[in-house]
Amino acid sequence: MNSAAYSWNGFAGRQELAAALADHVAGRLTKAIAERGTGLLAVSGGTTPAKFFAALSVIPIAWDKVIVTLVDERFVPASSPRSNAGLVAANLLQNAAKAARFVPLYHEAVGIEDAAASDNAALQSLPWPLDVVVLGMGPDGHTASFFPDADDLAKLLDPSSDRIVLPVHAASAVEPRLTLSLARIVDAGFIALHIEGEDKRTAFDSAVAPGPRKPIRAVLDAAPKPVEVFWAP
């Protein structure tokens, strides 16, 4: 197991970060397509990745051979302003990237457990492992939907889980969530962590320092290769 292995990439501005991360991800996807005929990308939601999505969407790669899915999703339909699928559709699946295939996590279901069961069946046919995963992080040190106050957090952070998607209940998350398992995330060929702002840098520094282990630290510890951190103030 690694000890918080990561590589730091700092940028003067957020637009510069977005362009650099987009170039890096496009290069990884192009390499995957050349090697196995397809590229599998998982991205995070929230407001942070909008500039990155826009920069990536115009890069002319073989998008018709790319499959895009989500690291996590709120249990809301795509029409909701809180939907990660809606953010991806509006900002990433545009321009050249419109040709990519998108696989959502949200499915209409009686409850979050049923939705997770549907995801595990539907996503089984994807060409795992992920080629690229781009994570975000909250000020509390959560990443994906691994919230510090989540029910069964130890189960969510089990790197040996055979599940693809797990249901998440956490008071701080507002809605129930669906998240890729830690095992699927750390099995990716390339893992990037995209964070912006001094508050996120402080949170990251705290997470990698000695002390109680925050969820992002669990990802860094479980990943077999260093996670590439992209940060701008």
In the predicted model, is pLDDT for residue 4 greater than 80?
A: no
What top-level class would CATH report for the domain 6-232?
Answer: alpha beta
Q: Prior bond to 129 cis, omega within 30?
A: yes
Helices 198-208, 215-222: axis angle to 10 degrees equals: 60
CB 14 within 8 A of CB 196: yes
* Cβ within 8 Å of residue 211, ≥6 positions away: none
- What is the torsion angle, in degrees rounded to the nearest 10, for the CA atoms of residue 61, residue 62, residue 65 and residue 70? 20
Average pLDDT score, the chain:
96
CB 85 within 8 A of CB 119: no
Q: What is the pLDDT of residues 172-202, one digit of tens each?
A: 999 999 999 999 999 999 999 999 999 999 9
DSSP SS3 for 61: coil
Q: What is the pLDDT of residues 51-95, one digit of tens each?
A: 999 999 999 999 999 999 999 999 999 999 999 999 999 999 999
CB 195 within 8 A of CB 155: no
Reading phi first (left if > 0) and then psi (alpha if -120 to 50, else beta), residue 188 is in beta
- Residue 41: strand pairing partners: 68, 132
Rounded to 5 degrees, φ, ψ at 227 are -80, 135
CB 225 within 8 A of CB 191: yes
In the predicted model, is pLDDT for residue 1 greater than 60?
A: no
CB 45 within 8 A of CB 73: yes
Q: What is the pLDDT of residues 137-154, one digit of tens each?
A: 999 999 999 999 999 999
DSSP SS3 for 82: coil
Question: Between the CA of residue 78 and those of 82, 105, 228, what are the distances in Å?
Answer: 8, 10, 29
Could you state, in order of their start, the residue ranges of all structural domains in the chain?
A: 6-232
Span between the terminal Cα atoms of the chain, in Å? 30
Longest dimension (CA), the chain: 46
